[in-house]
Amino acid sequence: MEQLLIDLAAVLAAASPLVIAAMGETLSERAGVINLSLDGTMLLSAMTGFAVALITGNLILGFIAAALVGALVAAVLGLFSLTLGQSQTAVGFVLALLCTDLSSFLGAPFARVPGPSVPFTPIPVLSDLPVFGPLFFRHDPVIYASLLIVPFTAFLLYGTRLGLIVRALGERPAAVYARGVDVTRWRYAMLIAGGALVGIAGAAFSLDLKQGWSYRHTFGSGWIVLAIVIFGGWRPWRVALGCYLFAALELVATRSQSALPDIPTQIVQVAPFVLMILVLALVNLAASPAAARQVMRLPAFWQRPLLAAINRLRATAPAALGQPFERP
C-alpha cells in the first residue's frame, strides 16, 4: 500500500510536463491548428529555461523565458500557416527539426552543468491527510500546476463562452466568421497560448523532472504527447489520463530494468513508447465503426451497453483541424 502510493505519486510527478504540454496542444488543436513542432519546442524551451535560470539565478525568469520561446515558435508557425497559408504539418515538422538542432547547438555550453531546480514544497496540513496527502500534496509547484491545468482546460473548453468559440474555430471557422469573430486572430491567440504552455512543459523537464540540460533531454516525449492528444480525442481529461498511463509505463520499464538486468537499456527506453502506441491503437480500434458492426452481431442483451461504451470512447477530430480558413 505504502509502495503503491509512492509509485502513484511518482507517476503524477513524472507526467507533469507531458500533461502541461498536452493541454497546450489540445487548446491549439481545438482551435484548428496542429502545432507539430511540439517536441522541438519542448527541447528548445527546456534548454532556454535552464540557461536563463542558471545565469540569472531566478527560476521564475527561467519559466518565463521558456514560455516566451514556446510562444515564439508557435507565432512563427502561425505566420507561415495562418497568415501565409502554408501547410501546418509541413511547417510544424520543419520547426520541430530546427528547434531540436538549435537546442543542441545553442545548449552545448549548458550541457551537464549543475543548476537550479524547483524546490519541494509540501502543502501544510493537507500533506498530512491519509492517502491524499502523499498522493497530491507532497510535490512541487510545477506538479501542482499540472494537476490544476486539466480541470482548468476542461472548464475553459466546455464551461465558458470563450471555449465555445475555440471549439467552433476547430469545427467550422466559417460559422465563427459569420458570427463576426476574427478567425485568424483567435487562432493565433490559441496557438500562441498553447505554445507558451508547451514551453513551460519544456522548462518543467529541465528545471524540475530531469534537472539540468543534456542533448535530446526530453527523449522524444513531445511526439508521444502529439499521439496522446489525438487518441485522447482532444478531450482534456482523457488526454491527461493518457499522459499518466505513459508515465506509469515508463515507471514499470525502469523497474523492470533493475529486476531483469539482462534486457538492453535501449529496449527499456523504447518499450513505453511502443506499448503506449499499442494501447492507444487498441482503444481506437474498439471505438471504431467496425467494432460497432461486430457488436451488432452479438445477442441483443449485450448490444446496448457495448454500443454505449463504444459511443463514449469514440472521438472525432475537430472537423477543420489543420485546414486553412477561407472566407465564405
Q: Which cell numbers hold the place of 125?
A: 496540513
Residue 114 or residue 289: which is nearer to other proteins going by CB? 289
Residue 110 or residue 234: which is nearer to other proteins going by CB? 234
Q: How far is the CB of 176 from other proteins (least distance, A)?
A: 6
Given a contact cutoff of 8 angstroms between Cβ atoms, the answer to whether 228 and 149 are in contact is no
Q: How far is the CB of 232 from other proteins (least distance, A)?
A: 17
d(CA 38, CA 95): 9
Residue 179 or residue 312: which is nearer to other proteins going by CB? 179
Q: How far is the CB of 42 from other proteins (least distance, A)?
A: 30
Q: Which cell numbers hold the place of 178?
A: 459569420
Q: How far is the CB of 179 from other proteins (least distance, A)?
A: 4
Residue 64 or residue 157: which is nearer to other proteins going by CB? 157
Given a contact cutoff of 8 angstroms between Cβ atoms, the answer to whether 45 and 198 are in contact is yes
Given a contact cutoff of 8 angstroms between Cβ atoms, the answer to whether 204 and 37 are in contact is no
Residue 171 or residue 250: which is nearer to other proteins going by CB? 171
Task: Give, to the nearest 10 degrees, the angle between helix 265-286 and helix 289-296.
Answer: 60
Residue 109 or residue 289: which is nearer to other proteins going by CB? 289
Which of 260, 199, 251, 173 is closest to 23 using CA atoms? Answer: 199
d(CA 14, CA 319): 32
* Burial class of residue 310 in the structure, from the number of CB atoms within 10 Å of its CB (0-12 exposed, 13-18 middle, 19+ buried): middle
Q: How far is the CB of 178 from other proteins (least distance, A)?
A: 5
Q: How far is the CB of 293 from other proteins (least distance, A)?
A: 10
Residue 228's region, left for phi above 0, alpha for psi from -120 to 50, else beta, is: alpha
Residue 290 or residue 319: which is nearer to other proteins going by CB? 319
Q: How far is the CB of 168 from other proteins (least distance, A)?
A: 5
Residue type, 141: P
Which runs of E-coded beta strand occur in the chain?
none
Q: How far is the CB of 316 from other proteins (least distance, A)?
A: 7
Q: How far is the CB of 84 from other proteins (least distance, A)?
A: 22
d(CA 292, CA 290): 5
Residue type, 270: V
Cα-Cα-Cα-Cα dihedral of 17, 47, 275, 239, to 10°? 30
d(CA 76, CA 316): 28
Residue 191 or residue 321: which is nearer to other proteins going by CB? 321
Residue 10 or residue 317: which is nearer to other proteins going by CB? 317
Binding site for other proteins (CB under 8 A): 161, 164-165, 167-168, 171-172, 174-181, 316, 318-319, 327-328
d(CA 279, CA 232): 11
